Amino acid sequence: MKITVLDGYTLNPGDLSWDELNKLGVCTIYDRTSQEEVIERSWEAEIILTNKTVITAEHLKSLPDLKYIGVLATGYNVVDMSAAKEGNIIVTNIPAYSTPSVGQMVFAHILNICQQVQHYTEEVRNDRWTKSPDFSFTDTPLIELLGKKIGLIGLGQTGFNTARIALGFGMKVWAHTSKSRLQLPPEIKKMEIEQIFRECDVVSMHCPLTEKTSGMVNSELLSSMKPTAILINTSRGGLIDEQALADALNNQIIYAAGVDVLSTEPPQADNPLLTARNCYITPHIAWATLAARQRLMSIMNENIKAYLSGKPINVMN
């Protein structure tokens, strides 16, 4: 059986092993694959694995031997799901592998904004402290999280994990969620999205990108936030109207934003967030800790084993 990995580099840049996968079939692993190369590289493969390489209906119609697509991520929007279903092709994803790491990144951004560790480290290296007339110096707001309200837009596994971390800092946790109030622990308050944006000190995005949620964080919601508020997005870049967020930051409508995702990745050079005031951007790395990638690869192998046994798991279609 032939297995093709279309874009294995981000999952495994060299610090993990493909040995378990190689035991399951004849494997060909590519670091990256362009759209024009998908058919040629996947020819005669029964299984293809992809992270961000898009699999279109045209690709699927041209690959008669294909029976299984393993998406090496939680989101599966890179596959034309209707065409896969029509072709009786199983599509699986990797659920919950990065939950602890993403929650950690949420608070890496929050703490960076609140404490400005990088800024002060650079100032000390530039001899500002050695030349200070006082034992200490500050030139940015330093923000304590105790008692602050954090609003979570979405309360799946990552949202819940982020809530637990927030509670550990003594924050008050509000959530916009489809879950009923009876399903929530007493320390998490269910709120409407408008109230969260209006009253919370920090708003963190944890919902999927759909037609309904695309661009949901718009100028209207942003203009309702406190001027001291912080927006965090480690979910999907398309949830936010990026020009509206840049305008809100540059006009001091809100204080700061920390984002790990953008609407186009890698971003266009003219993306307004790249130069926006108090906008802190990391290059979609919340998922990429060694531990998370080890879990991803382990679940990937288990998904394929389950498919080969005739009892597929984590099936999306």
Give the closest residue to 260 by CA, choosing from 283, 230, 293.
283
Strands (E), 239-278: 256-259
How far apart are alpha carbons 69 and 146 in whole angstroms? 45
Whether residue 32 lies in the annotated active site: no
How far is C-alpha 101 from the chain's CA centre? 10
Amino acid at position 177, single letter = T
Name the strands in the sheet holding 90-92, side by side, starting at the edge strand that comes first in the sequence: 26-29, 2-5, 47-50, 68-71, 90-92
Check residue 200 and give left, alpha or beta (phi > 0: left; psi -120 to 50: alpha).
beta
* DSSP codes joined into one string, 15-64: SS--HHHHTSSEEEE-S---GGGHHHHHTT-SEEEESS--B-HHHHHT-T
Per annotation, catalytic residue among 109, 284, 293, 295: 284
Catalytic residue among 236, 242, 293, 295: 236
CA distances from 107 to 102, 228, 231, 265, 306 (A): 9, 17, 12, 22, 36
Span between the terminal Cα atoms of the chain, in Å: 22
Scanning the structure block, which residue is given the tokens 């608070």? 107
Is there a catalytic annotation at residue 128? no
DSSP-based helix, strand, coil % in the chain, nearest 5: 35, 15, 50
Other C-beta atoms within 10 Å of 106: how many?
29
Query: For residue 216, what are the β-bridge partners?
Result: none
Our answer to whether residue 46 is catalytic in this structure is no
Q: Strand 149-153 and strand 90-92: pairing?
A: unpaired
Residues forming the active site: 236, 265, 284
